[in-house]
Structure formats: C-alpha cells, structure tokens
Amino acid sequence: MMDLKTYEKSVAASNEGKPMAKMPLLSWDLYSVFLRTLMGAQKDLSLLNQLSKVYKWNVAFDFDDELKENDAILVTDTNLQIVFASHGIAEMSGYKPDEVIGNSPKMFQGVATSSEKRAEINKAISDKTSFETTLTNYRKNGEPYECHIRSFPIFNKKGELTHFIALERAA
C-alpha cells in the first residue's frame, strides 16, 4: 500500500494554487481508489509533458485541464499507431493503456461505426486538419458506445507534423 506522503504529494501537485475543501477520510477503500486515480492522472500529465518536450510540440494545450475534461486522451504517431493512452481509456473502453499502445485507433471501430464518419476522419487526417465528431466505437467486451472525439494534428516548432491527439468522451 502506498504511504501517506505519496498521497499528500500527489494531492498537493494536483491542487497547486487551487482552493481545497478538506474532507474526512471515511474509508480506506475509497482512499485507495482515489489515490490510484490521482496518481494515474499525474502519470498521464507527466507523460504528455514529456512527449511535448521530446518532440518539441508547438501546442497551446493545458494537458491538466484536458485530462480532467475528457474521459481519455490518445496520441498517435504520423503512421496512426497509438503511442500514448491516458488511464481513462480503461474505464471508457475496457482496454488498459498498455493494450492499445502500438495499435491503430481503428481497433475501437466495428460494424456499427459509420463509414461516412470514417471517411471524414480519414480526410481530416490526410489534410492534417482538426476534426470533431461522434461515432460508434466498441469496448473490449464488444459492447458499442458513442464516443465524442476532438482531434488535432500536432506540429513541432519547425512546423513538421509529429503526432495526432484525440480528446475523447463517452457521448
């Protein structure tokens, strides 16, 4: 089990500069779920910031806000292979982040995924433009769900395309 100092550091980092109401700890089970979620978000934020620095992304995203506002964030390389998946992907799709890394986002599509929406997405990707759409995706167990996606090409400071980022919410 994680020690209390790790918890306190994670909470402090997450809430830096924000007013915080203190709540009594009612259950160690609730505490551990909250701590795992908080630490997952901190790890996601750290990995996104590392990707941004390594590839010298020219972006204005506040990744902390995006992680809070979206169920999942996926980053693909220019070959459309997933290189990053936030921890939220597990709750939304049933796949753990390490299960989707190296795959194409098409792994979430199936028979009920609109071919028109797929064509729109493919055109935006080939044109290196952003898009926003809602389409039918599939969970790991085969259950369909509606997924709202906002996606953007990511360029480095030299103007070269390096990645695509998709901000996703279950619709």
- Residue 132 CA to residue 166 CA, distance in Å, equals 9
Is 126 part of a structural domain of the chain?
yes
Range of the domain at 55: 5-9+27-170
From edge to edge, which strands make up the β-sheet containing 72-77?
A: 82-85, 72-77, 161-170, 144-155, 131-138
Q: pLDDT tens for residues 24-56?
A: 555 555 555 555 555 657 889 888 989 999 999
Which CATH number goes with the domain that contains 117?
Answer: 3.30.450.20
Give the number of residues written for the chain. Answer: 171
Q: pLDDT tens for residues 142-155?
A: 999 999 999 999 99
Is 18 part of a structural domain of the chain?
no
Q: pLDDT tens for residues 80-125?
A: 999 999 999 999 999 999 999 999 999 999 999 999 999 999 999 9
What's the number of domains the chain is made of?
Answer: 1
Is 149 part of a structural domain of the chain?
yes
